[in-house]
Amino acid sequence: MIFSKFFNLSVNPFSETPDTKFYFQSDSHNKAQIKLLEALSQGKGILKLTGEVGTGKTTIARMVIRNYQKEANFALCLQPQLEGSELLFYLAEELGIIDNPKYRQASLLARFSNFLMDSAREKKRNIILIDEAQVMSLQAMETIRLLSNLECETQKLLQIVLIGQPELDEKLNSYEYRQINQRISGRIVLLPLDESECGAYIRHRLDVASGGNHIGFSPRSIKLIYKNSAGIPRLVNLYGQAILGYAEKLKKRYVEADLVKMVMRGEYLIKCAHYDSANLSANSGK
């Protein structure tokens, strides 16, 4: 990372990749994680976690896996566009049920059932988390409904978490999806950061990345970042990355509101290009 030495950063503090070591305990994120873990521990069948784009739903899913992995087998589905047997094969491979894609769907469902019964006897849960579930087709949802039917007399053998944007609610509320919608036993909503949490979120990520205090943000700069990001963590990360890049070029370790305003207007891109061109010309003349 270009500014790692200047700010003493070991990794990019504002990476877009979901990373549980950067998990920030906002009120909404903690509540969502607790509700999800409680619903899973109660053995509820199909759960739904929704939130706006970039609020951190995938990070919540990875936190649940990290905190619950000793008690359960997990399948995190990142390909919700798969349908029917393809989706079934994908989930079976993720859970470790099969390693051969040549099974017929009927026999695969039988293997699913036997695997889940064996897991229940061993007191091991099986949990499927499907990310970006708002893009799932009716056929894919029907596959999920069929899997949710696998149960014994005392408990659900498989728990499923549908994770998606608010469009998932619109889809599930439509007539065609009523069967799967009726089976959802837990509905959790993830909200953006509030203004007071935005500054704490930025500081937290910088601390995790460096463990030191090599850059600061003025209260007005935090307010501007919050206003432009609406508290969406992904947008805060995008702005944070751009701000650090610009601050490094200007050799500033304290971010003022004027610097943030230039980033928001995109002026830093032009200035950085001029800076790079000048350095290139200077170096070529040596």
Q: Give how many domains the chain has, as a whole number.
A: 2
Could you report the per-residue pLDDT of 55-65, keeping only the tens digit for each?
999 999 999 99
Q: Which amino acid is at 91?
A: L
Inside any domain, residue 20: no
Say yes or no to pLDDT of 76 above 80: yes
Q: Read off the tokens for 109.
A: 């469902």
Inside any domain, residue 133: yes
Same-domain check for residues 251 and 163? no
- When pLDDT is cut at 50, 70 and 90, the band that residue 104 belongs to is low
For Cα atoms 166, 169, 170, give the angle at the middle one, nearest 5 degrees.
Answer: 95
- Measured CA to CA, the distance from residue 281 to residue 37 in angstroms comes to 57
Same-domain check for residues 127 and 178? yes
Given 158, 190, 222, which residue is the final one in a domain? 190
Same-domain check for residues 233 and 270? yes
* Closest of 74, 77, 94, 96 to residue 158, by C-alpha: 74
Say yes or no to pLDDT of 103 above 90: no
Sheet holding 125-130, edge to edge: 72-77, 125-130, 159-164, 46-51, 184-190
What pLDDT does 243 receive?
A: 93
Say yes or no to pLDDT of 3 above 70: no
Inside any domain, residue 19: no
Same-domain check for residues 75 and 160? yes
Q: Read off the tokens for 143.
A: 């596959």
Given 190, 205, 227, which residue is the final one in a domain? 190
Contact at 8 Å (CB) between 30 and 36? no
Q: What is the pTM of this model?
A: 0.85
- Measured CA to CA, the distance from residue 190 to residue 181 in angstroms comes to 19
Given 190, 205, 226, which residue is the final one in a domain? 190
Say yes or no to pLDDT of 212 above 70: no
Inside any domain, residue 138: yes
Residue 243's domain comprises: 4-14+193-284
Could you report the per-residue pLDDT of 266-275, keeping only the tens digit for each?
755 444 444 4
* Closest of 193, 209, 210, 206 to residue 255, by C-alpha: 206
Rg, Å, the chain Cα set = 23
Could you report the per-residue pLDDT of 161-194, keeping only the tens digit for each?
999 999 999 999 999 999 999 999 999 999 999 9
Same-domain check for residues 129 and 53? yes
Q: Out of 71-80, 97-106, 135-144, which region has the weakest mean confidence (pLDDT)? A: 97-106
Same-domain check for residues 172 and 37? yes
Give the domain CATH number at 167: 3.40.50.300
DSSP for residue 164: E
Same-domain check for residues 158 and 138? yes
Same-domain check for residues 179 and 198? no
Same-domain check for residues 117 and 213? no
Inside any domain, residue 21: no
- Token look-up 């036997």 returns 114
